[in-house]
Structure formats: structure tokens, C-alpha cells
Amino acid sequence: MTDPAYLRPRELDEALAARAAHPDWMVLAGGTDLMVNANHRAAPAGILDLWRLPATCFVRVADDAIAIGAGTTWHDVLRHPAIRERLAPLAAAAREIGALQIQARATLGGNVATSSPVGDSLPVLLALDAELEVASVRGHRRVPYHAWCTGYRTTQLAADELIVCAHVPVPGPTTRTAWRKVGTRRAQSISKVMAAAAITLDGDTVVSARVALGAVADRPIRASAVEAAVRGQRLGVAAEAARAAVRAAIQPIDDVRSTARYRRDVAENLVARFFSVS
Amino acid sequence: MRLVVEVNGAPRTVECSPWKRLLDVLRDELRLTGTKEGCGEGECGACTVLLDGEAVNSCLVAIGQCDGRGVVTVEGLARGELHAVQRALVACGGAQCGICTPGIAVCAAHIVDSGLVDAADGGRSARDRVRELLAGNICRCTGYQLIVDAVIEAAREVLAR
Amino acid sequence: MERPGSLVGTSVPRVDGVAKVTGRALYLDDLDAPGAWFGQTVRSQVCHGVLEAVELDPAFDWSQVVVVTSADIWGKNLIALIEDDQPALAPIGGRVMHRDEAVALVAAPTRALAFAAARAVRPRIAERPAVLDVADALAVTQPLYGTTNVFKQLWIRKGHASDAELEAAFAGAAQVIEGCYSTSPQEQMYIEPQAMMAEWRDGRCHIVGSMQCPYYVHKAMKALLACEGDGVVIAQSVTGGGFGGKEEYPSMLAAHVALLAHKARRAVKIVYDRDEDIAATTKRHPCRTTHRLAVDARGELLAIDIDVVMDGGAYLTLSPVVLSRGVLHAAGPYRCPIVRVRGRVVATNYPPHGAFRGFGAPQTTFAYERQIQKLARLRGEDPLALRKRLALGVGDTTATGQRLDASVGSAEVLAAIEAVAGTPPVARGTSSRGAPVRRGRGVCFYFHGAGFTGSGEQRLAGRATVAAVDGRFEVRSSSSDMGQGSITIFTQLAAGALGVDPAHIVVVEPSTARVPDSGPTVASRTAMVVGGLVARAAAAVREQLEAWAAGHGLTGSLVELARAHAAVVRAELVETIGYEPPPGIEWDDATYTGSAYPVYGWGACLVDVEVDLDSYEVAITRCVQAIDVGKALNPVIVRGQIEGGTLQALGWAVLENVVYKDGKVWNASMTNCIVPTFADAPDLETILVEVPYPFGPSGAKGVGEIPMDGPAAAVANAVEDALGCAFDSLPISPEAIAAARGRWDPA
């Protein structure tokens, strides 16, 4: 058995060419998912090492959106002043991904590509209505994150594509954001339930909301029934409407970590809390 | 694949599959057995090393990715004398069975040297910060209390210098 | 016994501390073993069945692989422990009794090849119905052990000659409280997985590895390998945690590497993967306790009636002893004239359960401290005041009729908690996350018998040796340091008795070739019993050296005299001391009456909790333990033991669980079988109380296990205080709290 090939591209074009030529190669950046129990897994045919590829490591701040490169680690995210100030839930999520050692390696691109039902940043990307930019030798395209997940750990990413960055709109001054992860313990934990929201208010009244839930389905979901139920409601009343809508909208499962009943109860609580009078 | 990794300040040449875990290269190839395997899945932190100055789980790093990069293991923390964190762990009783200790020493040394803990405080918020930063290192023996004491003490010492 | 300038009682830094912080301490997998092969275990995927054959995939290249099955065992296919029911490998043609039971072994030059080879071994097992429920076991739906499936049954009876008398006491009571309590299995989660290596050379089998009890392994190997005592040498390598999980299991692993090394004709080592370790090795016995207590109008206990049923898993292993300790602690540290305890440990088709710190006492302590809490609530009495009122003290008798005389720190630990308790947390509030919270406080009071039960220490007949060798002093005992600091404690005790600087003491590696059998490193006996032997042996060495010197007209420091002796006599000066029981330990194993333990440790715990009403998570915001340790031989080390055990108990209470699916551990990974992180632990407060034990070295008594026994009950009491309803099962998980919403006190 021969060792896998290994390539560390310096430019995006080089990476894309390799991706197109070798769709069976593992695209590896931080490795915090792909390297789990690596000593017991068959080596891939090749390794395309995108760790710190400059074309994917950036944070570009514009007035209305922040573009975050796919190779940006969660450590970079949670320390970036503009992200902390203007995309607070993303920084908050980053801080609760694993712990220090994981945050130093795990990347936004990795979280998005793996697309685990318990991916910690994914409900935030949904709630903030992010857009992904992906590239291949055929060119670049943009995919709204809400269309990205097509099934359990399945995404729109084509076999020859790489994720370049996420364009995350900055919520306006009348939009408040919220996020909470409930995991198995205080740190280094897998989510049992996650909720994220961007709520546009006129005074006390909900003009519109984007509400996303994680760990309650095979992918992160927008709770459109909740969003409809709270429109035009005042905070407080909206909380009760949201709670009822969440109950009807999700069918979480029992699994090794938790129960369907618990996930439903907590999802209701988290979402209702978002719409409470603070 | 032939690659060169700087380990504890010295260039080391390794010939092996790029898929081999950094942890295994350190322990098997380079016989630096201070770094330990506790879980193989990045949960326990016993395999913590510094890679290009960041504390990472070496069980989750493929050696190919380390070509041309720098690694510091527990064996490289002491330069002439023990690192402040190592001295404090001994003085405060922060090591019992010791299997988690190398990972904690590396991570805590990084935290202290990077100024990530405002030890001037020494009170609740500094202790909470230490707990958050070390949460990726599991210890089953100590209950963590004396380790937190040790890291605060080391941070104070480094701050004073 | 201590000489002037003794460092006993001071926080001398650990002897092995620098080695551990520099990564120089060598654990099994760190040892240089050039040419050693790697072993892997093939495990049953069936809970209960008959192993018909072990087949090998013909498509696999076996030329570089050695395979071992029960057919290769030339001695007895068993792991000798209490009984001989557990095989080293499931016998071909015989029964398989649990998922992940070892069926075959492979060894190969590389880990990868061994891993692949294990997957190419195909055991053929004819499945039988499995018993995965204690009720089914007791109903004997399948006979797993004898005709009753009961590994062991024990009774304690105090103050009544018949069951009718007991019932009369209940009938005449002012109040009766009855409850049913269940505790969960728990994984020890030592951070160093089980690891062992064997090599046959000079006609002997040399085994080294991570273990607590070299002589347990030695005894087991003599039977398996059909050899005499000098045919096998067992040595402990630096051990990365044990907590009981490396008390009996290492004998199994030693058997495996010994067999592989014999067939492969080279050294073979096995280091378990974490997932495998969690799935296949022993856990804390799950337990269900029914507890009835009766009080009179003044609130004095009239009678206690307890039924304890533990799940032992597929083989007997140490279950009778776990049951014994559980039963002996079940009535709690309270005065009560009439006590009946029935205990049973039962066979099922789960992987065998085994030793874990506390060893049955945490399970039954949970039950009695929940009951006492309910009594306090029913009577509207302050929980600490009630416990102080009912607590055993000097002159009182326990459930086995043991009259307590020395080293009874019950009042002291309760007073210590009372002194620091302060104002309880405000009952309602908001967390830093903006979620509403309810807060509560819980206390508990408990005890733990130090050392082996009854005449156990006499049967062990442990010995320790101190020898003057070329001007330094060697301590030779089979006690294993697994983190609890025995090397340092023995160094202090020996130095203190000799009157020398600790730098002159060497505690030798526990190898059966070099040290006497001091008994196992378990049961909170290492400092108290073996440490006592070490101190006496050291004192005897000093006496001998001084006598020799006087006879030769020599003066000087003891080290100088020792060097002189070595130069003149050219031989070691060796003193070995054997255990002698303190006076007054009378124990009747047949009736379970008398002095169950030579002495008890005493503990009181206070816990404050905050329950998040959005997530139902319990945060432990404060935890104080006051423990009577007799004498803190090294206060920092003792604190470390208490804090470590406390957090294991807090984890057991709210965070930890072992979950099974079809008889197999479902959460067999560190990701899903979680233990507390730094962020889950509160700042732990430890109050060391010292009520000296006259027969312990410098007054010390056992401390290793006691901190594990109480806190889970204190947590349950605190959560009840916060929410207004009872939580009588562990873990008190967020799921359990959410499901109990209908029983909470209304907002």
C-alpha cells in the first residue's frame, strides 16, 4: 500500500486544479473532524492541505457585510473585533466550539463542509442569512446558506468545488441577535439543542425574524413556522406564539446523548426566551 | 514522504506517510514520549503540543501538515530551568498520576506566555478564565483546583518579570 | 515514631513531581520495547451464547500474525480472583457471557496490522437469550450463575430477633419514610488507558504494566500459566490513574499479553483504545436500594430496613466485596437500635462491573442521605441540626454492633460545615445567560470504613520492608502509586521514622521480584496500613543501625552509620514488618456482626446548586467538604485526594452515565461518556479535620475513597431544595429534571 499523495497549494487556482484532478483526495484544513481516530482509518488516496491557504484566510469588513474566509479558525473569529461587535452570535458560537485546542484548528469551512446536524456555527449562519462563495475550475458561484444543506451531512458542494468564504450580512441597528447552545457539559461538548435568531424590531414589536435551530433535525433548520407566528407580535406575546410553533415544527430524536422530549422542551424554551421582554 | 519539522527548536527529518498523526511521529519516530494519547479524538487534551505557537491536539494533526512548521512539546518547555508553569504545578500539587500533566503544562505555558490570563486580578474572573482556557484538558485525579492555583501562580510570576 | 525534624504532616512536594511535569515519567506505552509486537483483542458481538469456533478470514495474510484462542492455554483458563468463574478467553465450545468479552487475541509487528488482523478473526457464536435486567436475573429467565443468579447475598441484623419484631417497630413509629433509590454505572476514565506488556525470558514470564495490585496479577498468572511463584514476575509501571479500575482488570490484560508473548516468542504489548477501554472494562456497580426508616415522636430513629440489589454483570469478579461494603455502610452513620439490611448482587449479561472508589458505599450512601434529608423536610428540622442530633459518636454502636471508640470525627466535620455554611443562595434569580434560575442548598453526612473489612487485613498479612543499602534507604512494598502520592507519603514516613532527609529514601518499583506482598492498593489502606508498616520497618532499621554502631563505638548521623555498616558488613540491613491488627477487632463473618472496620473516616458536605430553567442544567456553584482524615500526612496531597474524589462524585451526580444498548456500552467514546472539565467544576473548598487514629502512622487513617461517598447525595438534596421535589435516581440529568417539571414547586 502506497502512502497518500500530499499537496499544499499556495494559490487558490492551484488548489482548484488539484481538486478537479483528484476529487477523491481528502480536503484537509484543521482536521478536527476528519482526523478523529485517524490511526484506525484507511489513509485517503491523497491529502489536499488547505491549512492557512492565504486565499481562504481573511476577514474583510464592509459596511453591510463581513466576508470570512473558509480557512479562518474559530480562534480567529472569536478574537476579531469587528466580528465580536457586529456578528456577536458567531463569536459566541466560536467560543463554545470544543475548547482552546479545537478552536485553534477548526475552521468555518470545515464546519460548513462537514455539515453535521450538530455543527455549532451552522444555525448562526442560517439566522444571519449568510451566503457561501464556492469555487472550482469552472468559476465562482454563491449559494445562500439556507439552500446549502440538502440532507444528512449532504450539501451543494460539488465534487470539484472548494468553499472560499462566507459572506455574512451585518444585522441592522434595529435587529437584535441571539444565540444559545445547550451541550452535554460546559465546554468541549456536543450540542443537544442550539438556537440562533436575528429579530428586527420596531420598538417592542417584531417586524420580522429569522430563527434557526440545530441538533433537532438531520441538518440545521430555519423555523419558518416560528417566524410566521411572531411577525407583528409584541415581545412577550411573541414568546408564547414562538413556543407553540416550535413544538409543532420539530421532530427531534432520542439518541445516545439525549431525548427527543428534552430537545423539544429546551428548543421551545430557548426560542421563547429570544422573544421575551428582556 | 520526507519532511522536516522543527521540534523544540531543532529541525527533525522524518520519512513516513503524510497521513501519520503528529502524535505518533513524536512518540514513535522521534521517541519523544512526553506527549500522551488519552482518547484519539481530540477530547482529552493529553496530546497537546504547540504547533506554530498555538496549542493543538496532536492526535488531530496529520504529519504532512507539519512540514516546515514548528512544534513544541513538553520536553521543550524547560529551557535550562523549568518553565514557571512546571514549577508551579510541582509546588502547588497540581500533578497526581501525571498522565494529563504534559498536555496541561504545554497548554498552560502557552496561556501564560501569551498573556491570555489577567493574573493581576487573581480573583474569581481570572480563575474562571483559566478554567475556560484549559477546558480542553481533562484531568480525572485532581478535581482541577490545585491546577488552577498553579496556573494563576505561574501567570503572576510571568507578569512580574 | 517520628524523629525531630520529621516532615510528616508537611506538604513536601511530590517525589515524582518533576518527572511528571517534564514528561519524563515513563508509562507503559512510553517504555522502550524494541522488537515488541502489538496485541489486539477480538471481542464478542453477542451478549450470551456458545462459542462454536474461532475462524480466520482466509483472504487475510496471516504470515506475520500470531493468533491465540482458549485452545492455546496450557494452564487454567481463568482469571483467579474470588471465584474461578471468569475465563481469560471465552472457551471454544463454552459460554460467552457478555458483549465485548475477549474471544481471541492477535499480535503483529505493527499496531495497524494487529488492528486489521483482529477484524479478520471471525468468532462463530450461537446466540442465546440475554439477561439484561436485574428483575429477569432474579426470576432466572436464564441461569447465568448457579440456580439463583445471585453471586452473593448478605444480611445485617441488629436489635431484633425476628422479622415480626422489626415490623412491630415500624408499626409503632410516629413517622415512617420509605424510598427507592437508584444509582448509575460509572466509568473510572483514568486518562491512561489499560496497558500491559509481557516477555518470556530466562524461562520466566515478565509482565509490566499499569496496575494497582501486582500480587493480584501474580496470583492470577500462576493459575493461568501453571507455574510457581518465581515463574512469573509482575511489575507496575508508572500508572496514569486507576480509581479501582485497575484493581482487578489488569489480571485479564496480563493474561492476554502473557499468552501472546509466549506464542509469538517475543515481547507483546497491548494498549487499549479509549473506546475499547470504556466498552470492555469494569464499571461502578449500578444499584437499587429500597430504604425504610421509622422515627419516634422525638425524631429519634427507631428502625431502619434496607434492601440493596446490585447488578454484578456477567462474572463474579469482586462483586461480593462491593456488596459487602455497600451493605456495611447502608444504615449510615446514625444511631439506630434496630437495623435490617439485605444485600444481593446479581448476575446479568452485561460486562462485569468492578471496583471504583467507594466500592459500594457511594451507592448506599446516596440512599440513606436522601432518606435523612426527607426526614428533615418532614419534621421541618434544619438538615444539619438533625444530622448532628442523630450522628454516631464515641460510645455508640453501628449497625453491626461495633462500638466506636477512637478517632470519631463526626461532630467535628458537621461543626466545620456549619461554621462555613453562610447564607444559602437566593432562591430565585437570573443566570449570566439571561435564563431564570432556581437555587438550592444541600448537605450530607457520611462515613467510610478504612481498610479491609473485619479480619481481612489479617488474612492479607501484608508486609513492608525497609532496607539500608549503601547509605540510602529503600522502601519495598507492593503498594502502587497511581497518583494518590503513596511514593511521597512512604518517603515522608520512612524519613520521619529514620530521622533522615527524604533525599536519602528510595521507594523501589513495585515488582514481585523485589518487594513483599503488602496487600492490594485499594480500600483506603495504603497510608494507614502499609504506611504504618513502612514507618515501623524504618524505625526498626534505625534501631538496628544504632545498636550496631554502638557495638562498634561509632557515632554520627544515621546516613553516616548506614554507609559505615555497608562498608563493613557489605550487606543490606533489611527489616520487614508484617501486619498486626490493633486490639479489639472482633468480626464474625457468618453473622456479619462486630467491628467491620478498624476505624472510620467521617465526612460532611455542603453543595449549592443553580438550576437553569431554560436548559434544566444543574450548575454546582459551591461545594465544601469537611473530612476527618485522622492526620494529614501531607496536607496538599490529602487535599488533592479529597478534591479529586469530590469532583468524581459531582460528575456522577449530574453529568456522567454509562448507557447500554442491547447489552453493549452505547456511549463508548470520550465524546459521549463524559466527565467534568475545568469549566464544569466549581472552586472546591476542603476542610481537613484531624481526629487521630491511634493505630495509624502518626494518627492517619484512610482518605482515598471517602470523598466519593457523599457529594452525590448532597447534590440531590440541593436540587430538591431548589425545585421542591425529590430526585432519587442518578444521574440528575437535565433530561430527568425537565421530565419532572410537573412535580416541581410551582413558581
Domain residue ranges in chain A? 5-49, 55-169, 180-274
Question: pLDDT band at C585, cuts 50/70/90?
Answer: confident
Residue C240's φ and ψ, nearest 5 degrees, are -90, 65
Among B26, B99, B124, B125, most C C-beta atoms within 10 A, so best to mutate, is: B99
The amino acid at residue A200 is T
Q: How many C-alpha atoms does C735 have within 13 Å on its Cβ side?
A: 21
Same domain assignment for residues C118 and C250:
yes
Q: What topology is assigned to B84-160 in CATH?
A: DNA polymerase; domain 1 (1.10.150)
pLDDT at A192: 98
Q: Look at C680 and A185 and tell me if their CB atoms are within 8 Å.
A: yes
Q: Nearest chain B residue to A51 by CA: give it.
A: B65
Question: pLDDT band at C543, cuts 50/70/90?
Answer: very high
CATH no. for residue C253? 3.30.365.10
Spatial neighbors of C604 by CB under 8 A, at least 6 apart, are C387, C413, C414, C416, C417, C443, C444, C445, C446, C625, C626, C710
Q: Are A222 and A124 in contact (CB under 8 A)?
A: no
Residue C704 falls within a domain, yes or no? yes
pLDDT at A50: 98
- Sign of the CA dihedral with C202 first, then C205, C210, and C213 last: negative
Q: Nearest chain A residue to B103 by CA: give it.
A: A101
Residue ranges for chain A with pLDDT beneath 50: none
Which of C616, C667, C677 has its CB closest to that of A256? Answer: C667
Q: Are C487 and C211 in contact (CB under 8 A)?
A: no
Question: pLDDT band at C520, cuts 50/70/90?
Answer: very high
| C684 chain-B contacts, CB cut-off 8 A | 143, 145
Q: Are A152 and A219 in contact (CB under 8 A)?
A: yes
Q: How far is C84 from chain B (nearest CA, A)?
A: 32
| C666 chain-A contacts, CB cut-off 8 A | 256
| C13 chain-B contacts, CB cut-off 8 A | 90-91, 93
Spatial neighbors of A13 by CB under 8 A, at least 6 apart, are none
E strand or H helix at C256, and its extent?
Answer: helix C249-264
Q: Nearest chain A residue to C435 by CA: give it.
A: A273
Q: Nearest chain C residue to A185 by CA: give it.
A: C680
Reported as a single tens digit per residue, the pLDDT across C124-141 is: 999 999 999 999 999 999
C-alpha cell at A140: 465562482
Neighbouring-strand partners of residue C706: none
The C-alpha atoms of residue C255 and residue C241 are separated, in whole angstroms, by 21
Instruction: For residue A141, give the nearest of A171, A172, A167 by alpha carbon.
Output: A167
CA dist C328 → C313, C356, C372, C444 (Å):
21, 17, 17, 18
The C-alpha atoms of residue C505 and residue C508 are separated, in whole angstroms, by 9
Mean pLDDT over all residues of chain C? 97
Same domain assignment for residues C602 and C704:
yes
Q: Are C612 and C619 in contact (CB under 8 A)?
A: yes
Averaged pLDDT for residues C330-338: 98
C-alpha cell at C164: 415480626
pLDDT at C180: 98
Burial class (CB in 10 A: 0-12, 13-18, 19+), C224: buried
- Sign of the CA dihedral with C485 first, then C490, C496, and C498 last: negative
A269 — alpha (psi -120 to 50), left (phi > 0) or beta? alpha
| A35 chain-B contacts, CB cut-off 8 A | 21, 42, 59-62
| A193 chain-C contacts, CB cut-off 8 A | 615
Q: What's the CATH number for B2-76?
A: 3.10.20.30
ipTM above 0.90, yes or no: yes
Q: Look at A35 and B16 and tell me if their CB atoms are within 8 Å.
A: no
The C-alpha atoms of residue C251 and residue C282 are separated, in whole angstroms, by 12
Residue ranges for chain B with pLDDT beneath 70: 120-122
In terms of residues, how long is chain C? 747
Residue C373 falls within a domain, yes or no? yes
The C-alpha atoms of residue C151 and residue C259 are separated, in whole angstroms, by 29
Residue C49's φ and ψ, nearest 5 degrees, are 180, -170
Q: Are C699 and C693 in contact (CB under 8 A)?
A: yes
CATH homologous superfamily, domain A180-274 = CO dehydrogenase flavoprotein, C-terminal domain (3.30.390.50)
Please check the confidence at residue C1 and state whether its pLDDT lies above 80.
no
The owner of cell 434492601 is C307
Averaged pLDDT for residues C89-108: 98
Q: Does the beta carbon of A268 lie under 8 angstroms from any beta carbon of chain B?
A: no
The C-alpha atoms of residue C740 and residue C723 are separated, in whole angstroms, by 10
Q: Nearest chain B residue to A188 by CA: give it.
A: B136
pLDDT at C472: 96
Q: b/e map of B30-58 (b: 16 or more CB within 10 Å)? A: bebbbbbbbbbbbbbbbbbbbbeebbbbb
- Could you give the residue range(s) of every CATH 3.10.20.30 domain in chain B? 2-76
**Residues of the domain holding C103:** 31-128+189-280
CB atoms near residue B11 (< 10 Å): 10
Reported as a single tens digit per residue, the pLDDT across C587-608 is: 999 999 999 999 999 999 999 9
The one-character DSSP state at C232 is: E
Residue C556's φ and ψ, nearest 5 degrees, are 140, 180
Same domain assignment for residues C646 and C511:
no
Residue C119 falls within a domain, yes or no? yes
Reported as a single tens digit per residue, the pLDDT across B110-146 is: 999 999 988 766 688 999 999 999 999 999 999 999 9
Reported as a single tens digit per residue, the pLDDT across C642-657 is: 999 999 999 999 999 9
Helix (H, G, I), strand (E, B) or coil at C579: coil
Question: pLDDT band at C441, cuts 50/70/90?
Answer: very high
Instruction: For residue C302, give the nearest of C158, C191, C410, C181 by alpha carbon.
Output: C158
Residue C153 falls within a domain, yes or no? no
- Could you give the residue range(s) of every CATH 1.10.150.120 domain in chain B? 84-160
Among A6, A101, A190, most B C-beta atoms within 10 A, so best to mutate, is: A101
pLDDT at A6: 98
Same domain assignment for residues C100 and C230:
yes
C-alpha cell at C528: 494507614
Is A55-169 a domain of CATH 3.30.465.10? yes
C-alpha cell at C349: 449479561
Averaged pLDDT for residues C496-523: 97
pLDDT at A9: 98
The one-character DSSP state at C222 is: H
pLDDT at C432: 87
Please state, for a pLDDT cut of 70, what percent of chain C lies above it: 100
Please check the confidence at residue C471 and state whether its pLDDT lies above 80.
yes
E strand or H helix at C487, and its extent?
Answer: helix C486-498
DSSP state string for C359-392: TTHHHHHHHHHHHHHHHHHHHT--HHHHHHHHB-
The one-character DSSP state at C745 is: P
The C-alpha atoms of residue C500 and residue C278 are separated, in whole angstroms, by 45
Query: Measured between alpha carbons, how far apart are the two ends of chain C, in Å?
Result: 61
Q: Does the beta carbon of A185 lie under 8 angstroms from any beta carbon of chain C?
A: yes
Helix (H, G, I), strand (E, B) or coil at A274: helix
Q: Does the beta carbon of A182 lie under 8 angstroms from any beta carbon of chain C?
A: yes
pLDDT at B10: 98
C-alpha cell at B5: 519539522
E strand or H helix at C532, and its extent?
Answer: helix C531-551
Within the 96-155 window of chain B, which residues sit less than 8 Å (CB to CB) from chain C? 96-102, 105, 127, 130-132, 134-148
Residue C330 falls within a domain, yes or no? no
C-alpha cell at A222: 430555519
The one-character DSSP state at C142 is: S
pLDDT at A278: 72
The amino acid at residue B51 is L
Give the pairing of strands A191-202 and A175-183: antiparallel
Choosing from C265, C280, C295, the residue where a domain stops is: C280
Instruction: For residue A87, give the nearest of A64, A69, A111 by alpha carbon.
Output: A64
Q: Are A199 and A277 in contact (CB under 8 A)?
A: no
Please state, for a pLDDT cut of 90, what percent of chain C lies above it: 98
The amino acid at residue C244 is G
The amino acid at residue C121 is V
Please enumerate residues of B whose Cβ is less than 8 A from a Cβ of A.
1, 16-19, 21, 24, 40-43, 45, 48, 54-57, 59-62, 64-65, 67, 107, 111, 132-138
Pairs across B and C, CB distance < 8 A: 173
Q: Are A235 and A277 in contact (CB under 8 A)?
A: yes
| B95 chain-C contacts, CB cut-off 8 A | 14, 17, 20-21
Helix (H, G, I), strand (E, B) or coil at C692: coil
The C-alpha atoms of residue C214 and residue C219 are separated, in whole angstroms, by 9
Averaged pLDDT for residues C241-249: 98
Q: Nearest chain C residue to A265 by CA: give it.
A: C738
Reported as a single tens digit per residue, the pLDDT across C169-211 is: 999 999 999 999 999 999 999 999 999 999 999 999 999 999 9
- Total domains, chain C: 3
Same domain assignment for residues C22 and C72:
no
Question: pLDDT band at C455, cuts 50/70/90?
Answer: confident
Which of A28, A100, A188 has its CB closest to that of B62? Answer: A28
